[in-house]
Amino acid sequence: MLSVAAAVEADYIRVSVHAGLKATDQDLLEGQAHETGRLREQFGVDVRILAELDLKHAAQIGSVRSISTEYGECVDRGHADGVILCGEATGQRVDTESLDKALAARTAGKYATQVFVGSGMAAESADELLAAADGAIVGTALKTTARRRIRSRHSASSS
């Protein structure tokens, strides 16, 4: 992923599992932080690494690690430039307690990394979530709104 980002001069990559091991319905996903960091150094590029914490649609393998521990592993050991928190599934809102724990880990560790909301951002929750987080990645809310508009146009033209 970093190789492609370097080739197209991307600003960042989003890494689903940067450190640790997660079980998903697709396969076991093992973090490759060491490889990603080595490539970034080798290529001499400034591609930011945004690591997801508590990956949606996945379960941790082995002992369950807290958000604070996972944050520290991604930032300290994995040299992530930012972290992303998601809801439990696509479009589901981020648990504000998890967001608060990630922000507390940042403060406790004196990190400069940014914390992003990566799932569940909607117009109704934007003010609250963005008051705490540094930014958000919005996708499903826009797609869902677009689908509703298409359906209502289709219904209106069918009448």
Q: What percent of the chain has pLDDT over 90?
A: 16
Per-residue confidence (pLDDT) for residue 19, from 0 to 100: 82
Inform me whether the pLDDT recorded for 55 exceeds 70.
Answer: no
What pLDDT, in 10s, does the model give residues 75-119? 888 889 999 988 777 777 788 888 898 999 888 888 888 999 987
What pLDDT, in 10s, does the model give residues 56-83? 666 767 766 788 888 888 888 888 999 9
Look at 33-42, 50-59, 140-149 and tell me which has the smallest mean pLDDT. 140-149
For range 120-148, the mean pLDDT = 76
**CATH class for the domain made up of 2-158:** alpha beta
Inform me whether the pLDDT recorded for 120 exceeds 80.
Answer: no
The answer, as to whether pTM is greater than 0.75, is yes
**Nearest partner of 18 among 33, 34, 37, 36, judged by Cα:** 33
Model confidence band, residue 150 (pLDDT cutoffs 50, 70, 90): low
What pLDDT, in 10s, does the model give residues 23-39? 777 788 777 888 888 88
Residue 125 half-sphere exposure, CB side, CA atoms within 13 Å? 20
